[in-house]
Amino acid sequence: MSTSLKMTWDLVSYAFCVHKISLHLPRKYETCRLYVLFQDLIRYGKTKQNLKRDDWLRALDVPKRWFWHFYAVSVVWNGLLLAFYLISIFQHQSYPLWLTGVLDFLTGVPSTDSQVPQLSTLLVQLLLCVHSLRRLMECLFVSVFSDGAIHVVQYVFGLCYYIVLGLTVLCADRRGKGTGTLLSQLDWFHVAGNALFIGASLMQHQSIVMLARLRTGKTGRVETLAHRVPEGGWFELVSCPHYLAELLIYVSLSLVFGCLFLSWWLVVLYVLFSQALAAQLCHELYISKYESYPRHRKAFIPFVL
Ligand SMILES: NC(=O)c1ccc[n+]([C@@H]2O[C@H](COP(=O)([O-])OP(=O)(O)OC[C@H]3O[C@@H](n4cnc5c(N)ncnc54)[C@H](OP(=O)(O)O)[C@@H]3O)[C@@H](O)[C@H]2O)c1
């Protein structure tokens, strides 16, 4: 499990570095096929709109408004895994054979009956479901999407991502060291992790609402699908506070794990690189498109990056 996550992280950090290098390439390379393919794979939505692409690449586009599919899959899958975990705790039933087989394969550790239910696992599963459900509701009822696109590879990756995420949590459970009842395992890092999760979720929700209001009037009716300069709230400090909030949400889940689960830190590193890359591309677009764009604003981390 940690090998596949490390590979994903390596790929994203590699993409981040190559993008940085590509910024300094002469303009003639912008028509090079490999360059276009690379940009097509790392960009999506508004940062992809000005990319000059062949028709065969456009044929691989999927509407960005399908983002809700990721969260729908996550709610169903992670809800199912949570149900299996609750049944194993309260009815002392083992997981279905296929799930036990998958976890044995991923962890390399065979399951034992002596495993004590872990409070960290239960909390992370719950928070993952809450996060996915909120994002699903935001995609369906808050965000106003334009005709932006994502690559079909990004789409398939997004679907698999939330499946792997749920399995990663159950892999952590196999290595959990908590003893005693669920309540007796309660520690300061569970409280701190939950507090950070709530704060980061509020920050993300506020930013998503502010982006939606750039396109709706006071009545809530959609007036435009144009991209405008976001203002107010955390947007005064960074171009993409919702990406920063996403990173904080994953850090908060690592805290709930007591900061001890290495595979989850690899997930956090993946989110750091993927969201930093997306924020950087969005920031560059705003700066090149809007002359009056506030120069003091950073892309991703206030006052730093
Ligand atoms: N964990 C992960 O790996 C991962 C990966 C990707 C995203 N996410 C999370 O998912 C959330 C959404 O991500 P995203 O990339 O879709 O964000 P985004 O590109 O900023 O889009 C969010 C919404 O705001 C609209 N929008 C964006 N910029 C706008 C502007 N300048 N003016 C008016 N409307 C604007 C978008 O419409 P358009 O249709 O025009 O784009 C879309 O409806 C984020 O919180 C992000 O952290 C997580």
Q: Crossing angle of helices 152-174/97-107, nearest 10°?
A: 90
Q: Provide the residue ranges of all domains of the chain, joining segments of one domain with +.
A: 2-289
Dihedral angle sign, alpha carbons of residues 30, 35, 37, 41: negative
- Taking the C-alpha atoms of residue 160 and residue 157, their distance in angstroms, rounded to an integer, is 5
Confidence of residue 168 (pLDDT cuts 50, 70, 90): very high
Predicted local distance difference test score (pLDDT) of residue 182:
94
Nearest C-alpha neighbor of 44 from the set 281, 260, 290, 226: 281
- For the segment 56-67, the average pLDDT, to the nearest whole number, is 96
131 ligand 1 Cβ < 6 A:
no
- Residue 299's pLDDT band, with cuts at 50, 70 and 90, is very high
Structure tokens belonging to residue 245: 């909030």
273 C-beta closer than 6 A to ligand 1: no
Ligand 1: residue of 144, 202, 207, 301 to mutate (most ligand atoms within 8 A of CB) is: 144
In this structure, what are the phi and psi dihedrals at residue 298, rounded to the nearest 5 degrees? -95, 175
* Residue 255 CB partners (closer than 8 Å, separation 6+): 189, 192, 193, 196
With 80 as the cut, is the pLDDT of residue 287 above it? yes
Mean pLDDT, residues 37-50 taken together: 94
Of 30-39, 80-89, 158-167, which range is least confident? 30-39
Ligand 1, pocket-test mutation among 41, 211, 224, 272, most atoms within 8 A of CB: 211
Q: What value does the mean pLDDT take over residues 95-99?
A: 96
Q: Tell me which of 10 and 79 has the higher pLDDT.
A: 79
Q: Is the minimum distance from the CB of 211 to ligand 1 under 6 angstroms?
A: yes
> Mean pLDDT, the chain, as a whole number?
91
What confidence category does residue 109 fall into, taking pLDDT thresholds of 50, 70 and 90? confident
Tell me how far the alpha carbon of residue 181 lies from the centroid of ligand 1, in angstroms: 41
> What are the φ and ψ backbone dihedral angles of 151, each rounded to 5 degrees?
-75, 145
Q: What is the mean pLDDT of residues 104-116?
A: 84
Average pLDDT over every residue of 184-202 = 97
Say if residues 228 and 159 touch (Cβ distance below 8 Å): no
Which backbone phi and psi does 95 adopt, to 5 degrees? Answer: -65, 160
**What pLDDT is stored for residue 19 in this prediction?**
63
Rounded to the nearest 10 degrees, the angle between the axes of helix 188-213 and helix 119-141 is 10
Give the per-residue pLDDT at 6: 59
pLDDT at 286 over 90: yes
CB 175 within 8 A of CB 108: no
Cα–Cα distance measured from residue 103 to residue 121, given in angstroms and rounded to the nearest whole number: 14
Distance CA 4, CA 10 (A): 10
User: Residue 278 above 70 pLDDT?
Assistant: yes
Closest Cα to atom 43 of ligand 1: 145
| Cβ(46) – ligand 1 distance below 6 Å | yes
Indicate the pTM of the whole model: 0.92
Residue with CA closest to ligand 1 atom 18: 45
**Is a pLDDT exceeding 60 seen at residue 5?**
no
Q: 262-289 and 241-256 are packed helices; what angle lies between their axes, rounded to 10 degrees?
A: 170
How many angstroms separate the alpha carbon of residue 271 from the centre of ligand 1?
A: 15
Distance CA 203, CA 129 (A): 18
Quick one: pLDDT at residue 219? 86
- Closest among 206, 56, 70 to 136, alpha carbons compared: 70
pLDDT of the residue at 110: 83
Q: Rounded to the nearest 5 degrees, what angle is found at the Cα of 102, between the Cα atoms of 98 and 104?
A: 115
pLDDT of residue 3: 56
Q: Is 216 helix (H, G, I), strand (E, B) or coil?
A: strand
Q: Mean pLDDT, to the nearest integer, of 122-134?
A: 98
Cα–Cα dist 282/278, whole Å: 6
Task: Please give the pLDDT value at position 25.
Answer: 60
Report percent pLDDT > 90 for the chain: 78
Whether 124 shows a pLDDT value over 90: the answer reads yes
Residue with tokens 């995420």: 165
Mean pLDDT, residues 100-120: 88
82-118 CB burial, b ≥16 within 10 A, e <16: bebbeeeeeeeeebeeebeeebeebbeeebeeeeebb
For position 217, what pLDDT does the model report? 82
For residue 47, report the distance from its CA to the centre of ligand 1, in Å: 11
Ligand 1 midpoint to CA 134 (Å): 14
Atom of ligand 1 nearest to the CA of 204: 45
Residues above pLDDT 70, as percent of the chain: 90
Query: Which pLDDT belongs to residue 27?
Result: 61
Ligand 1 atom closest to residue 240's alpha carbon, by position in its atom list: 20
Q: Tell me the C-alpha distance between 201 and 265, whole Å.
A: 19
